[in-house]
Structures are given as C-alpha cells and as structure tokens.
C-alpha cells in the first residue's frame, strides 16, 4: 500500500489489554502503524488498567496513559483526553474497543475542535449493526443471518421449544462473549454468567453449522468497502479467539460484506464475522465496529489497514491496495515484558508511562 506519509504525527490508540485468551486490538494496531511508518508516527497508548500489557511496550507506544473506563462519564473522558492532548498534541485517535465508541462518537465534535481527528460511524450506523438488529440489516443487504432474540430470564432455556428454538443455540452478551449451548441447563448457566458480566438482555442466536470466516475492512462513509482482508481461524483460544489464522479469498464473502458496508454506509474500521456452511453459503453472525486483534495479518498480506485508516483520517483519498496473498498465515505467541518498578509505579501513581 502506498500512503506517502513522511511527517511525524501523534496518534492515540486504545485497547491495550492483551490477555492471550482474548486480546484487545490496540497493540496490533500500533504494530501495524509502526511497521508502516516507523518513527514518522508517534503512537500514544490509552489503557484502562495498570496491567494492560500495551502500556509497557515502548517499541510500539512512545507514551502510554491510563484513561477512565467507558462506564465513567464522558466529561471525565474528555477531561483526561484534554490533559493527554496538552502533553502530546494528538492529531488522531483510533479507538479499538466496542464499548468506547458511543462516547467517542458523541464527543467527536469536541475532539475535532481540539484538533483530534477520528474516523467513526454515526450513532445511528453503530446501532444498525447491534447484535439484536443484525437480521434486519442483513435482510436489507440480501445476506443470510440466523435469527436472534433478546432473553431476560433463564427460564427461556427450559421453555424455548415452545417458541420454536432448538439446541444447539448461541448465547451472547450484548457487547461481548458468545457460547454455544447444547441443552437447557447449559443455556441457563451461560445466560447467568453472561448476564452477570455484560448485563441484560442476553441474546440467543440460532446455531449455524459451519466454519467461521472473518473479514476486516474500512468503510469510507459513502458506501464503499476499502482494503478487505479475509481470514479463517486455524487455531483458537479457550474463548474462541484466533490464535492462528490464514488469509483466504472468496468472492462470495467479499460481496456479502460489501453489501453490508454499502447499506450501512459505514465509516471507519469494521470486522464482519460469518459462518460458511457446507454448501458454501455465508451467514452473518456479527459486525464489530473496530479493527480486530488479528489486524496485523493485513500488514502481512500487503494491506496495512491501520496505516490506510490514518491516511484517510488525514483527509487524503483512499490509498491503493495490492491483492492480498491467500495462504499467508499468522500464528500468535505470548511473551513476557520486563517492567522496572519505577515504570510500574509511574503508571499506578501518575497514570502514564513516558519513554526515557
């Protein structure tokens, strides 16, 4: 991909959590930016917890700061961002967690006034791809989608057959988490666990037998899908997250995702999750409004999407992309970062880590 960046810009990236069973995308997004732009970009990591691994990775993040959790007030968030902006002169912000988006979209005009650019969908667009509204969206786009319904009581799992729901089915949190359940007791147990973590309603989705295929791309806001890369998971963690994956190429998947992006007129990064059944038909299961944790594969296949996003954020036309090489694989590993006590202390006490 040719972007033509050469001036140092400071970009903030969130989602620095990176526990191996379910890593956030922030570290991988920063890695993509670093690989594409070297030291022509200054990357500022925004984390939530002193144990977020991205806070301690100076090779990707030139500085790192703690910020208030998304459950805090928007005033607390904008106030903290203003503090960080005063130190870092941020030019752009790339949020990497679903729960951050509503606040940051609402704060968009204030961020713009401060000189911090974002490239995000509207709140309406965000709502259209909520899990409970996916079938409606998919129907308009002409894409298959297993039906979904909200559940507010564990008793549903013992009486669901009366409404035509059969096992297995998928139990999902409104923001995160999904578990395939094979019976009423397992369903009720998953419901309680997910409700305790993510609140009500919990969603149930009809189970489609097949293999999961994921697509990442950027919506330009006018209906076009840019730089799509597709991936099939080849090894997963206990939470079903990719530990290894391989770049695929299927026109049918690209067409389906393109139709969804067009209907949504999506602006910003997105990940489309689909199940490919034995007949080769795709069924939409989720649309995530951000880059996924496996985004580094896009750099590996010559379509560095975080760098492309930054390009768009700076008001430049869509970059040109080379054809991604199907068969290119990624395999993750975990490594330890050694952190001096003084650095840890700085994060805990001051809420930041600056490079020496």
Partner 1 sequence: MQRLAVSENGFVFDPVTGNSFTVNSTGLRLLRLLQQNKDLVEIAATVQSEYDADPREAERDILEFVALLRKHNG
User: Count residues contacting partner 1 (CB under 8 A)?
Assistant: 17
Distance CA 61, CA 53 (A): 11
322 is an interface residue for partner 1 by CB under 8 A: no
Query: What residues form DSSP beta bridges with 150?
Result: 203
The residue among 2 and 278 lying less far from partner 1, judged by its C-beta, is 278
The residue among 92 and 216 lying less far from partner 1, judged by its C-beta, is 216
Question: Looking at 91, 213, 283, 353, which residue binds partner 1 (CB under 8 A)?
Answer: 213
The residue among 186 and 255 lying less far from partner 1, judged by its C-beta, is 255
283 is an interface residue for partner 1 by CB under 8 A: no
The residue among 74 and 255 lying less far from partner 1, judged by its C-beta, is 255
Distance CA 322, CA 302 (A): 6
278 is an interface residue for partner 1 by CB under 8 A: yes
Between the alpha carbon of residue 348 and those of residues 16, 77, 145, 340, the distances in Å are 15, 18, 45, 13
Query: What residues form DSSP beta bridges with 149?
Result: 204
Question: Looking at 59, 139, 158, 234, which residue binds partner 1 (CB under 8 A)?
Answer: 234
The residue among 181 and 284 lying less far from partner 1, judged by its C-beta, is 284
As measured in angstroms, the least distance from the Cβ of 279 to partner 1 is 7
As measured in angstroms, the least distance from the Cβ of 234 to partner 1 is 7
Q: Which two tokens stand for residue 10?
A: 């400071």
The residue among 178 and 242 lying less far from partner 1, judged by its C-beta, is 242
Placement of tokens 């894409």 in the chain: 143
Q: 130-169: which residues touch partner 1 (CB under 8 A)? A: none
Confirm if 259 and 313 have CB atoms less than 8 A apart.
Answer: no
258 is an interface residue for partner 1 by CB under 8 A: no
Between the alpha carbon of residue 347 and those of residues 56, 66, 341, the distances in Å are 9, 7, 10
DSSP notation for 190-238:
HHHHHHHHH-SPEEEEE---SEEEEEEEEEESSS-EEEEEEEEEEEE-T
Residue 236 burial by Cβ neighbours in a 10 Å radius (0-12, 13-18, 19+): middle
Question: Looking at 118, 179, 205, 248, which residue binds partner 1 (CB under 8 A)?
Answer: 248
249 is an interface residue for partner 1 by CB under 8 A: yes
The residue among 64 and 301 lying less far from partner 1, judged by its C-beta, is 301
Residue length, the chain? 356
Chain residues binding partner 1 by CB under 8 A are 211, 213, 231-232, 234, 245-250, 276, 278-280, 326-327
């Amino acid at each position: 991909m040719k972007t033509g960046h050469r001036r140092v810009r400071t970009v903030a990236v969130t989602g620095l959590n990176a526990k191996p069973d379910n890593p956030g995308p922030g570290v991988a997004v920063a890695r993509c930016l670093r690989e594409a732009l070297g030291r022509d970009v200054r990357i500022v990591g925004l984390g939530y917890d002193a144990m977020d691994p991205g806070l301690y990775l100076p090779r990707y993040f030139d500085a790192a700061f703690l910020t208030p959790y998304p459950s805090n007030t928007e005033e607390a968030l904008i106030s903290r961002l203003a503090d960080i902006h005063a130190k870092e002169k941020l030019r752009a912000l790339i949020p990497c967690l679903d729960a951050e988006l509503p606040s940051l979209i609402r704060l968009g005009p204030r961020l713009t006034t401060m000189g911090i650019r974002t490239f995000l969908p509207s709140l309406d667009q965000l709502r259209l791809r909520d899990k409970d509204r996916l079938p409606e969206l998919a129907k308009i786009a002409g894409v298959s989608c297993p039906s979904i319904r909200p559940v507010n009581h564990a008793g549903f799992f013992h009486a669901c057959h009366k409404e035509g729901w059969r096992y297995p089915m998928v139990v999902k949190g409104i923001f995160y988490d999904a578990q395939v359940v094979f019976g009423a007791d397992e369903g009720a147990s998953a419901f309680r666990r997910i409700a305790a973590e993510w609140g009500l309603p919990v969603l149930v989705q009809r189970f489609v037998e097949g293999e999961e295929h994921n697509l990442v791309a950027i919506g330009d806001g006018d209906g076009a899908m840019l730089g799509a890369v597709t991936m099939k998971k080849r090894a997963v963690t206990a939470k079903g997250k990719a530990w290894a994956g391989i770049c695929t190429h299927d026109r049918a998947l690209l067409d389906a995702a393109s139709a969804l992006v067009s209907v949504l007129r999506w602006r910003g990064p997105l990940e489309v999750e689909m199940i490919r059944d034995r007949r080769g038909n795709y069924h939409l299961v989720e649309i995530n409004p951000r880059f996924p944790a496996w985004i580094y594969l896009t750099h590996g296949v010559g379509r560095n999407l975080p760098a492309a996003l930054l390009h768009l954020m700076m008001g430049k036309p869509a970059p040109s992309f080379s054809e991604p090489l199907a068969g290119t694989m990624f395999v993750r590993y975990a490594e330890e970062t050694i952190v001096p006590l003084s650095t840890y202390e700085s994060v805990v006490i001051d809420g930041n880590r600056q490079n020496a």
